Amino acid sequence: MRPALARLALCVALSGSFAAYADQPLSPAQQFARTHLIVDTHIDAPGELLDRWRDLGVDQPEVEFDYPRARQGGLDVGFMSIYTSAEDDAAGTARQKAHMQIDAIEALAWRHPDRFAIVRSPADVDRLKPGQQVLLAFGMENAAPIGNDLGQLKVFHDRGVRYITLAHSHSNRLADGSYSLKRPHGGLSALGEQAVAEMNRLGIMVDVSHLSDDAVRDVLRVSKAPVIASHSGLRKFTPGFERNLSDELAQAIAKQGGVVQLVFGSGFIDAGMAAQTTEYFRALDAFERETEATRARGETPPKTLEQFDAEWDEKRKPVATKIDQVLDQVDHAVKLLGADHVGIGSDFDGVGGKLPQGLRTVADYPNLVAGMRERGHSDEVIAKVLGENLLRVWREVEKRAQR
């Protein structure tokens, strides 16, 4: 446990933009956030650093994760998302890009050893969390950097990767993706099944976010350790949106001891935004097929993927969402799965700012605490959801690997 006022004073000292908080007493929710473990399993800061270097050890208002905001919100452990795209995979650059993102976070921790520390185990968390550092772990979003070489799983484990999302927006060598219209494996491939077994052996958590329903079922059939959904919503609130988990699959994850980490992004909590996302991937599939056909004729495609995305964004305005929509998912998940199988995976810096009012940056976790309290959740349940459940699963995955 850390003295709350000391932590707030540190934030103020590090960034003048937080000076307004110096003389304000902490709310009960802020006190709770600063004295209980908070683990967020999905923050896309590494990709932001590759796009443009920013010193996240100081105030950076244009992004959603930096040290002062993390301290303000009470974040203890943030899983840094090592994301690579299907395009990186096709170009053969995914592995290099993954290592570059890990390098960027290691450089950040090296630059600010008093503010950040990289953790590889729950034991590291237990040892370091009484300090003032924000603890950084690595999760790999998309197994594209593994390629066909399962030996790369150990390479990335040695670099600190502690969960891997098997696929992302497209199906890949290991698994079918929930957004993909092309599903060559009908779930997991044979290589994907071998990868899950090797991840179990190494102690890497298997992440089923982004997978097709059949792939999730295959993971649950194959894995000998509990699995996680690092950043998923519940399909009850977005009917027909396969990217979110059905009640049935969420219950199956919980039954095997896993945890569903609920996402904050507007596209996952709002039915209208989810429908837009589904429409986008259908349009993207048509665009890619047209592009392939154009190149096959020896012609230059009329537009790039970047131009396609820019035109799409220009035509469709995001729907405003509120924190209550995240709280609705928390309420349903706790009732459906039990308080031991729910957590948080925000997707900060990964959804283009499309976030609900009240949960816009890592400074806002106390708003979630306050909302859960208002809805009748006990402090014990809130503590489990904020981080204790994820740490329990991580310990179990590590323990089974050691066996």
State how far the Cα of 87 lies from the Cα of 224, in Å rounded to an integer: 32
CA 289 vs. chain centroid, Å, equals 29
Residue 23: the pLDDT is 52
Residues 6+ away with beta carbon under 8 Å from 81? 42, 43, 44, 45, 46, 47, 139, 140, 141, 350
- Nearest CA to 236 out of 228, 225, 244 is that of 244
CA–CA separation, 28 vs 21, rounded Å? 15
Domain range summary for the chain, segments of one domain joined by +? 4-270+321-402, 271-318
Q: Does the domain formed by 4-270+321-402 have CATH 3.20.20.140?
A: yes
pLDDT per residue of the chain (403 residues) written in tens, 0 to 9: 444 444 444 444 444 444 444 457 899 999 999 999 999 999 999 999 999 989 999 999 999 999 999 999 999 999 999 999 999 999 999 999 999 999 999 999 999 999 999 999 999 999 998 889 999 999 999 999 999 999 999 999 999 999 999 999 899 999 999 999 899 999 999 999 999 999 999 999 999 999 999 999 999 999 999 999 999 999 999 999 999 999 999 999 999 999 999 999 999 999 999 988 888 888 888 888 888 888 888 888 888 888 888 887 788 877 899 999 999 999 999 999 999 999 999 999 999 999 999 999 999 999 999 999 999 999 999 999 999 999 999 999 999 999 8
DSSP string computed for 252-280: HHHHTT-EEEE---HHHH-HHHHHHHHHH
Q: Looking at residue 55, what is its pLDDT?
A: 97
Q: What is the pLDDT of residue 315?
A: 80
Strand 77-83 and strand 228-232: the pairing is unpaired
